[in-house]
Chain A
């Protein structure tokens, strides 16, 4: 099953997707430096998760 959507005409959505992918790339770079676990812990603290 595959769902296809397009956001190419939604500039705000495109901008946010690019930020998301940049964040994934930052994770990847941290992994290449051997610090992905610490990076993930730091990122997790940025969100206050509901209980």
Chain B
């Protein structure tokens, strides 16, 4: 019979050391403060606030559920979260939050139907660039949080240190990697999978394709004004430290996609 692994530990450090022994190949990373337990999950389900979520969900400090790592690993299902939402509110108030759960269901169904889409372009780019125009490796300054964009460096640091960033922040980073730095979305998607505690292949990879425009009608981009609005003071959005993204959408589109043909 295969050997049974330990279940008793003197401390969390003891457990972490044991996991390192079990999996010496694993990249060394900061350990999450989240300590999974059913008690914690039940607490988070109790705290779900559908009305607050609907009001603030796009803000980086918004009232999101923080249940995603537990959903990814099956400790709680999206059905259970939906039921908690409906226990706290009527369907109309809960709709925004349930719609986000539905995105996950949608990605899962798509991955089951088309597993080959997880790592391959579903459609062609609508950016005017060809697949080979995108780089095969992450730029060092992005990985090391030393880009010329201060607010993005803060998000990269948070991602590396905690394994979690807000969904809106994920879209900013993905757009920066794919459109500003012209890196293949697959490379960025793998970078996120390496770091995110809640990294779920369908949600992660299809979202990267959505940003890249290989699974959407147009590329997703953002600008400093948008970050400033949704960061609401939690990021450094001083224009002098974020020049690369400090422009109108029209100007950015012309700069990032000079060969783009509208309506293609």
Q: Do A and B come from one complex?
A: no
**A residues engaging B (CB < 8 A)?**
none
